Amino acid sequence: MINHKTLKSLSTTTLLVVLSLSMYDLTSAAYATETANDNKEPNKTSLKTTKYEHHKLMKEGHGSHMNMDMKGMVMNENKDKIPKDCTEISEDVTIEVNAGVKYAKPFPGTVFGFNEHQWHVKPCARITVEFTNDDDIRHQWMIHGLPTYLYPKGMFHIEVNGPGKRTGTFIVPSSHFTYLVHCDIAQHTEKGMKAQLKVGNGREDLPSIPGISNPTFPNSFVQKPL
């Protein structure tokens, strides 16, 4: 005969078992996410594998779209996939880009800059960017508006953490266009790290490119009378 006390004890045990199972499920889910490509049981070996895989990824890059380590990354590199509207690669261009505070000096009101703020290439050009960061902070060379079937989010991007150099390649489509290039670190775009890549005849200049175009909303430093 089950009395009230036994029933209470039983339901507590059931609750604990259910809770433990849920916790196990949650833990398994977490492991499953980290070890999505193998079916190992969530045990110590698997954890070691996860750490090893993570280290390997940091060394060799996250899949085909990203080459990344602690010093920097190249994202969405494309050396050989020709855009649909191009029959062949028109030219191979290498641009050497330096980034740093010293490049802001010629442009009052800016703090950061690239050594050049504009580049010209032919339609269907393959462009190799040799990106050097001269500062002790992180900088990027990030271009937007590329075809999304080749470049996720339409973006190709090189990033260097502190002094160093990274090289990456991408191919532009055939349209005459002016692409925005910038460093997306907070405040860097606004403070001068903005440039443009003109393909063919391009389109009109983008605003606020140091040495090229005026800002849409210029800063005003006029002191108002007291």
Binding mask 142-181 for Cu ion (x = CB under 5 A): ----------------------------------------
Q: How far is the CB of 215 from Cu ion (least distance, A)?
A: 18
Q: How far is the CB of 142 from Cu ion (least distance, A)?
A: 9
Q: Is 139 in the site for Cu ion (CB under 5 A)?
A: yes
- Residues 117, 157, 188, 191: which binds Cu ion (CB under 5 A)? 188
Q: Which of residues 64-93 bind Cu ion (CB under 5 A)?
A: none
Closest CA to 95 of 140, 136, 126, 138: 126
Residue nearest to Cu ion (CB): 183
Q: Is 182 in the site for Cu ion (CB under 5 A)?
A: no
Q: Is 191 in the site for Cu ion (CB under 5 A)?
A: no
Q: Decide if 71 contacts 131 (C-beta within 8 A).
A: no
Please state, in angstroms and rounded to a whole number, the distance separating the CA atoms of residues 76 and 140.
14
Which residue stretch of 77-85, 117-125, 139-147, 216-224 sits at the interface with Cu ion (rule: CB under 5 A)? 139-147
Residue 88 gets the label, from left (phi > 0), alpha (psi -120 to 50) or beta, of beta
- Residues 74, 97, 160, 183: which binds Cu ion (CB under 5 A)? 183
Please state, in angstroms and rounded to a whole number, the distance separating the CA atoms of residues 188 and 111.
8
Residue ranges of E strands in the chain: 66-69, 72-75, 92-100, 113-114, 118-121, 126-133, 138-143, 156-161, 164-171, 177-182, 194-199
Instruction: Provide the edge-to-edge strand list for the sheet that holds 72-75.
Output: 66-69, 72-75, 156-161, 138-143, 177-182, 194-199, 118-121
Of residues 121 and 183, the one with the C-beta less far from Cu ion: 183
Please state, in angstroms and rounded to a whole number, the distance separating the CA atoms of residues 209 and 222.
23
Q: How far is the CB of 121 from Cu ion (least distance, A)?
A: 23
- Residues 185, 190, 198, 205: which binds Cu ion (CB under 5 A)? 185
Of residues 158 and 206, the one with the C-beta less far from Cu ion: 158
Residues at the interface with Cu ion (CB under 5 A): 139, 183, 185, 188, 193
